[in-house]
A and B are shown apart, each in its own frame.
Chain A
Amino acid sequence: MPYEIAAVLDAGPADGVDPDEFVRAAVRWHFDPETGSPYWLDRAGRLGFDPRRDVRGVADLALFPDLTHELRDVRATDLVPRGYGTRARVLNVFESGGTTGAPKRVVQLDDWMRHSSDQVAGRLRAHGLPVGAHWLTVAPTGPHLVGDVLQRAAAGLGGPGLSIDMDPRWVRSLIAAGRTEEAEAYTDHLVEQCRRVLLSQDIRVLAATTPLLERFAREDDLLEIINGKVEAIVWGGTHMDPDTRDLLSTEVFPDVRLIGMYGNTMMLTALLERVGSAASDPCVFDPVSPYVFLSVVDPVTGERVEVGERGRVVVSHVSRSMLIPNNAERDTALRVRPAEGQTGDAVADVAPAPTVAGEAVIEGVY
Chain B
Amino acid sequence: MAAVPDSGTVHLDALGPRGACRTRVPDVVTDVTGAEVARLSTVPPVFVTRGLAALRKAGPVPAADLDAILAAAADAFVSDTVGGLGVREYESLVSRTSGTPLPVVRASTRGTARFVQEARRSAGRGRPVGAAADRRDPAVREGGAVWTRRGDVFAVNASGNHPGVHRLWLEALALGYRVAVRPSRREPFTPHRLVAALRGAGVPDDRLVLLPTDHRGAETLVRGADRAVVYGGDDVVARFAHDPRVLPQGPGRTKILVTADTDWRDHLDMITGSVADEGGTACVNATAVLVEGDPAPLAEALASRLSALPGLPPQDERAVLPVQPLDRARALDAHLRAVAEGTRALLGGEGIVDDLGDGSAVLRPAVHQVAHARAPQLRTELPFPCVWVAPWSRTDGIAPLRDTLVLSALTGDGTLVDRLLAEPTITNVYLGGHPTYWMAPGVPHDGYLSDFLMRSKAVIGPP
Contact A243 B224 (CB under 8 A): no
Partner of A361, one of B49, B50, B249, B335: B335
Contact B382 A363 (CB under 8 A): yes
Contact with A along B150-187 (1 / 0, CB 8 A): 00000000010110000000000000000000000000
Contact A364 B1 (CB under 8 A): no
Q: Which A residues from 191 to 218 make CB contacts under 8 A with B?
A: 213-214, 217-218
Kindly state whether residue A365 has any CB partner on chain B within 8 Å: yes
Q: Which B residues from 328 to 346 make CB contacts under 8 A with A?
A: 328, 331-332, 334-335
Kindly state whether residue A362 has any CB partner on chain B within 8 Å: yes
Q: Considering only CB atoms, which chain B residue lies closest to A215 in the complex?
A: B49
Partner of A364, one of B24, B220, B251, B331: B251
Beyond A362-B235, A363-B251, A363-B382, is A243–B50 a contact (Cβ under 8 Å)? no
Q: Which A residues from 213 to 227 make CB contacts under 8 A with B?
A: 213-214, 217-218, 220
Q: How many B residues face the partner with a CB closer than 8 A?
A: 45
Contact with B along A58-69 (1 / 0, CB 8 A): 000000000000
C-alpha gap A178/B380 in the complex (Å): 24
Contact B46 A365 (CB under 8 A): no
Kindly state whether residue B128 has any CB partner on chain A within 8 Å: no
| Shortest Cβ gap from A256 to chain B (Å) | 14
C-alpha gap A217/B44 in the complex (Å): 12
Contact B23 A243 (CB under 8 A): yes
Q: Which chain A residues lie closer than 8 Å to B206 at the CB level? A: none
Q: Which chain B residues lie closer than 8 Å to A366 at the CB level? A: 159, 161, 231-233, 236, 249-251, 283
Beyond A180-B219, A217-B49, is A246–B231 a contact (Cβ under 8 Å)? no
Q: Which B residues from 238 to 269 make CB contacts under 8 A with A?
A: 239, 249-252
Q: Which B residues from 1 to 41 make CB contacts under 8 A with A?
A: 1, 23-25
Q: How many A residues face the partner with a CB closer than 8 A?
A: 25
Q: Considering only CB atoms, which chain B residue lies closest to A251 in the complex?
A: B50
Q: Considering only CB atoms, which chain A residue lies closest to B334 in the complex?
A: A361
| Shortest Cβ gap from B451 to chain A (Å) | 21
Kindly state whether residue A248 has any CB partner on chain B within 8 Å: yes
| Shortest Cβ gap from A242 to chain B (Å) | 5
Contact A218 B381 (CB under 8 A): no
Contact A363 B381 (CB under 8 A): yes
| Shortest Cβ gap from A292 to chain B (Å) | 27
Contact A359 B1 (CB under 8 A): no
Kindly state whether residue B43 has any CB partner on chain A within 8 Å: yes
Kindly state whether residue B72 has any CB partner on chain A within 8 Å: no
Contact B234 A247 (CB under 8 A): no
Kindly state whether residue B223 has any CB partner on chain A within 8 Å: yes
Kindly state whether residue A277 has any CB partner on chain B within 8 Å: no
Partner of B24, one of A242, A251, A252, A359: A242
Contact A365 B331 (CB under 8 A): no
Partner of A363, one of B24, B47, B380: B380
| Shortest Cβ gap from A187 to chain B (Å) | 11
Contact B331 A361 (CB under 8 A): yes
Kindly state whether residue A241 has any CB partner on chain B within 8 Å: yes
Contact B233 A359 (CB under 8 A): no
Contact A365 B49 (CB under 8 A): no
Q: Which chain B residues lie closer than 8 Å to A213 at the CB level? A: 46
Kindly state whether residue B383 has any CB partner on chain A within 8 Å: yes
Q: Which chain A residues lie closer than 8 Å to B328 at the CB level? A: 359
Contact B46 A364 (CB under 8 A): no
Q: Which chain B residues lie closer than 8 Å to A361 at the CB level? A: 331-332, 334-335
Kindly state whether residue A173 has any CB partner on chain B within 8 Å: no
C-alpha gap A243/B49 in the complex (Å): 14
Q: Which chain A residues lie closer than 8 Å to B86 at the CB level? A: none
Beyond A214-B46, A252-B46, A363-B381, is A247–B1 a contact (Cβ under 8 Å)? yes
| Shortest Cβ gap from A220 to chain B (Å) | 8
Beyond A243-B43, A359-B327, is A218–B224 a contact (Cβ under 8 Å)? yes
Q: Which chain B residues lie closer than 8 Å to A359 at the CB level? A: 327-328, 331
Contact A243 B331 (CB under 8 A): no
Partner of A247, one of B47, B250, B334: B47
Contact B223 A364 (CB under 8 A): no
Kindly state whether residue B351 has any CB partner on chain A within 8 Å: no
Kindly state whether residue A77 has any CB partner on chain B within 8 Å: no
C-alpha gap A180/B218 in the complex (Å): 13
C-alpha gap A364/B252 in the complex (Å): 8
Kindly state whether residue A184 has any CB partner on chain B within 8 Å: yes
C-alpha gap A361/B24 in the complex (Å): 32
Contact A243 B1 (CB under 8 A): yes
C-alpha gap A363/B384 in the complex (Å): 11
Q: Considering only CB atoms, which chain B residue lies closest to A213 in the complex?
A: B46
Contact with B along A328-366 (1 / 0, CB 8 A): 000000000000000000000000000000011111111
Residues on B facing A (Cβ under 8 Å): 1, 23-25, 43-47, 49-50, 53, 159, 161-162, 219-220, 223-224, 231-236, 239, 249-252, 281-283, 285, 327-328, 331-332, 334-335, 379-383
Contacts A217-B46, A243-B24, A248-B46 given; 12 further ones with Cβ under 8 A? A244-B47, A359-B327, A359-B331, A362-B232, A362-B233, A363-B234, A363-B381, A364-B232, A365-B281, A366-B250, A366-B251, A366-B283
Closest 6 CB pairs of A and B: A364-B251, A366-B159, A362-B233, A361-B335, A244-B44, A359-B331
Residues on A facing B (Cβ under 8 Å): 178, 180, 184, 213-214, 217-218, 220, 241-244, 246-248, 251-252, 359-366
Question: 8 pairs across A/B with beta carbons < 8 Å?
Answer: A180-B219, A217-B49, A217-B50, A220-B53, A243-B24, A363-B251, A364-B251, A365-B283
